[in-house]
Amino acid sequence: MRINVHVIPGSSKSDVESGDPWRAHVHARPAEGKANEELLQILSDYFGVPRSAVHILSGHTSRSKTVDIGLEGSAMTKGTR
């Protein structure tokens, strides 16, 4: 599954809101890829997939990103979310 995400770095909270685009608040600042890594972990937790199943396809240095989430075997495909 591919989603568009608008990232808000330096937030006081870390969370994700569905929509188009999705919105993600991350605590980390966009230095040394820390905000991207936190985004991927938040999405991994939200969708119930391993961190290795979540990848940024485009927008590595932008607040607007396209993210691929491999949902096979996840809680989403098992109907628990």
pLDDT in tens, 11-33: 999 999 999 999 999 999 999 99
Q: pTM value?
A: 0.85
CATH number at 61 reads 3.30.1200.10
Q: What is the span of the domain harbouring residue 52?
A: 2-69
Is residue 76 in a domain? no
Is residue 45 in a domain? yes
User: CA distances (Å), 79 to each of 3, 18, 68, in order?
Assistant: 19, 17, 20
Is residue 61 in a domain? yes
Range name among 10-14, 65-69, 75-79 with the lowest pLDDT average? 75-79
Is residue 12 in a domain? yes
In total, how many domains does the chain have? 1
The predicted-structure confidence for 55-67, as pLDDT tens digits, reads as follows 999 999 999 999 9
